[in-house]
Structure 1
Amino acid sequence: MLSNIIVNRYNLWAAIVSAIGTISTAYGLAIIGSTVGQPSFYTYLKLAPQGTTGYSHTTRIIAALNAINSAGAIIGCLYHVWSSETLGRKKTMIIGCIVLTIGGAICAGAVDVAMLLVGRGIAGIV
């Protein structure tokens, strides 16, 4: 079955670009998953650590960080279907790179929970 597969440059590059897009979303989820367990994350964002009063608020923030990324991904999928046909795939890829860069910059410079949530939502769109 695999012997019938013909690989040309276009198909190879399409697969590579698709894989990079998938990696960018999965990487963001993996990073936030490992970041949430760090004590400095709780301290910096003024969240209650596990076992203290107010940890229920912290768990809601952690859930929101994961949910906003998934919601952004759904919005991004719907947008990319439309924009790829309307604007073309090349412009859609350029727009996606710009949006991902902006979302990543907002996350990196987040000074509070709200800014982090906005950044995760924007980065999730791609």
Structure 2
Amino acid sequence: MECAGAPRKPLCASDGRTFTSRCEFLRAKCRDPQVEVSRGPCKETSRCVAEKKYTEQQAKKHAFVPVCNPDGTYSEVQCHIYTGYCWCVTPNGRPISGSSVFNKKPRCQGSKQERNSDRSKTRFSIE
């Protein structure tokens, strides 16, 4: 997207950056769809502070967040939104080796053998 002839009207984005035109903002939004237009003018911040804020926001998007059942136990399938991988876990939330798949839901057995194996590992780590 070429922005050379775009009208120059500063625009504040949700990540704290100021863009010189709507065109430049839209170009940035192509790279990061989470960026939105902020209401009001941007507060004057240093480049370092703006970069720090932006990086912190990006880091939050990349963090894995476990999925829990209504009773507080781990969901049998866990997925990392950023990487697209999903895997099966034991009742204690430990990943089951070899169950990871990309962009689809894995088949989890939920067998008693896996659960007993996980419990025995827990007992050894507690003792």
Q: TM-score, normalised by structure 1?
A: 0.25
- Of structures 1 and 2, the one scoring higher in RCO (CA 8 A, sep 6+) is 1
Higher helix proportion, which one?
1
Higher strand proportion, which one?
2
Larger Rg: 2
Q: TM-score, normalised by structure 2?
A: 0.25
